[in-house]
Amino acid sequence: MKYRTLGKTNLKISDIGIGTWQLANDPEMWVGGDLEESLRALDRYVDLGGNFIDTAWVYGYVGDNQDTLTSEDLIGKYLKQSKNRDNLIIASKVAPKNFMWPAIKDVPFEEVFPSGYIEKLVNESLTRLGIETIDLMQFHVWQDDWANIDDWKNVIEKLTKQGKVKYWGISANDYQPSNCLKTLDTGLISTVQFIFNIFHQKPTEKLLPYAKINNIGLIARVPLDEGGLSGAITLEKKFEEGDFRNNYFAGDRKKELVERTSKLKEIVSQSDEVESLIELAIRYILSFDELSVAIPGMRKTSYVEQNTSFSDKGKLSNELLEKLKEHKWERNFYTGHDAWLASSNFVEA
C-alpha cells in the first residue's frame, strides 16, 4: 500500500481509503449487507495497510430507532476491538439539519447548520465512534456563499481547541467541485471530498489546480460511479429491492452506461497497463498527484483485496490518460439533471 500526505494536515494516509456508507444497512439506500462481513472487511483493509476510514453521521441513520447500527456505530465496534487504533485516520461528516443534499443556493445557513447543531453532531459522532478526537470532520454539504459567515468559523475553532476535532473539511455538493473555493480561501478548511472518476473529470479544471497551489487535501469519492465503472453492470443486471441504484440506473441510463463501459473495456483489452475496467477506474484517480486518496465503498473482503491491490501498480501512462479524456460523461443520476441544476442554482463555469 502506498501513502500520500493529506494536504496541509500532514497526515500520512493510504491512497486507497475505505468508504463506509454501505457498511450499515441503510434501508433507504443500500441493502443486502452483512454486518459481520463488514467488520471483516474493515479488519482486512487495515491488515493490508489501509489507514483512512471515511464515514458520516448520517450513514445508516434511521431516525430514533436505537436498535439499528449506523456506520459510525459499526466502526466504533471495530475500533474497540482493534489493536491498530493509533495508526488509523478517522473522517466523518456533519449532516445538514434540513436533510437536503445538495445544499441549495439561497437557503439560509442557519437552516442547514443552526447554532449548536454542529457541536451536537460532533459529540454524537464521538460517542458512536468511541473515540476522543475525530481526525477529520467534514461539512456534508456546502454553498460557497457561506464563506464569510462567522458561525461555522467560531464553532470549528472552539471544537478544535477542545481537542474534539483535529482538522476540518468540506464534502462538496455532487458534481459541484468548485463550489467551495472562496471558503478554502479562508484557510480554515484543510480538505475537500468530491466526486471524481473517469466520467466526471470536471474537478481537473479548477479544484485540482487550486489544491495543488494551496496544499488542500483531496478525497475522491464515487470513484466507480456507484458501480457503473466496475464493469459488472449489464443490461440484465438486477439490483435488490430497496437499492437506490434501481433509480440511479433507471430508464435508458443503464443502456447508455453499458455502451460507454463497453468502449472503456475495449481500451482495457488493447492495453498492457491494466487488466480490468475497475483497475482502470481506480488507477485513473491515483494518476493525479494532487489527489490524496480514493475512497471506494467496500463492504466485502473480496472488494477490499481487489481495490487495495491497485495502490502498488502506479500511475497510468500519459497516453492512456489522454485517451480517457474522450470518455467524459457529465451528468447527474442522483436526480434529473435539469431538475438538479434548477434546484441547486449553481452551474460550474
pLDDT tens for 135-178 read 999 999 999 999 999 999 999 999 999 999 999 999 999 999 99
Q: How confident is the model at residue 121 (pLDDT cuts 50, 70, 90)?
A: very high
User: Model confidence over 264-277: pLDDT tens digits?
Assistant: 999 999 999 999 99
Report the share of the chain in percent with pLDDT over 90: 76
Report how far residue 193's alpha carbon sits from residue 4's, in angstroms, rounded to the nearest whole number. Answer: 15
Q: Which of 334, 213, 221 is CA-nearest to residue 285?
A: 221
275-304 burial, b if ≥16 CB within 10 A, otherwise e? eebbbbbbbbbbbbebbbbbbbbbbbbebb
Q: Which of 111, 95, 97 is CA-nearest to residue 59?
A: 95
Evaluate if residue 341 carries a pLDDT over 50.
Answer: no
Q: With residue 193 as reference, give the H or E element that holds it.
A: strand 191-195
| Assigned C-alpha cell, 195 | 466526486
Report how far residue 192's alpha carbon sits from residue 170's, in angstroms, rounded to the nearest whole number. Answer: 5
Report how far residue 337's alpha carbon sits from residue 312's, in angstroms, rounded to the nearest whole number. Answer: 37
- What is the DSSP-derived secondary structure letter of residue 46? H
Min mean pLDDT across 33-37, 64-68, 215-219, 222-226 is at 64-68
Higher pLDDT, 333 or 75: 75
Report how far residue 98's alpha carbon sits from residue 140's, in angstroms, rounded to the nearest whole number. Answer: 12
Report how far residue 190's alpha carbon sits from residue 13's, in angstroms, rounded to the nearest whole number. Answer: 14
Report how far residue 49's alpha carbon sits from residue 84's, in angstroms, rounded to the nearest whole number. Answer: 10
Predicted local distance difference test score (pLDDT) of residue 238: 83
* DSSP codes, 78-97: HHHH-S-GGG-EEEEEEPPT
Q: How confident is the model at residue 67 (pLDDT cuts 50, 70, 90)?
A: low
Evaluate if residue 98 carries a pLDDT over 50.
Answer: yes
Alpha helices in the chain (DSSP H): 35-47, 71-81, 109-112, 117-129, 150-161, 181-184, 207-214, 245-248, 253-270, 277-286, 301-308, 318-324, 337-344
CB 63, CB 27: distance < 8 Å: no
Average of pLDDT values for 206-228? Answer: 97
CA 338 to chain centre: 24
User: Model confidence over 281-326: pLDDT tens digits?
Assistant: 999 999 999 999 999 989 899 999 999 999 999 999 999 999 999 9
Domain 3-344 has CATH 1.20.140.10: no
CB 87, CB 135: distance < 8 Å: no
Report how far residue 36's alpha carbon sits from residue 38's, in angstroms, rounded to the nearest whole number. Answer: 5
Predicted local distance difference test score (pLDDT) of residue 342: 40
Other C-beta atoms closer than 10 Å to the C-beta of 346 total: 20
Q: With residue 18 as reference, give the H or E element that holds it.
A: strand 18-19
Higher pLDDT, 328 or 115: 328
Evaluate if residue 24 carries a pLDDT over 70.
Answer: no
For 250, phi then psi, to 5°, come to -75, 165
Cis peptide, bond prior to residue 102, ω within 30 of zero = yes
Evaluate if residue 220 carries a pLDDT over 90.
Answer: yes
Q: Which of 52, 57, 55, 51 is CA-nearest to residue 22?
A: 55
Report how far residue 21's alpha carbon sits from residue 29's, in angstroms, rounded to the nearest whole number. Answer: 9
Higher pLDDT, 213 or 227: 213
DSSP percent split of the chain into helix, strand, coil, nearest 5: 40, 15, 45
What's the sign of the alpha-carbon dihedral 166, 172, 177, 183? Answer: negative
Q: How confident is the model at residue 38 (pLDDT cuts 50, 70, 90)?
A: confident
Average of pLDDT values for 107-128? Answer: 97
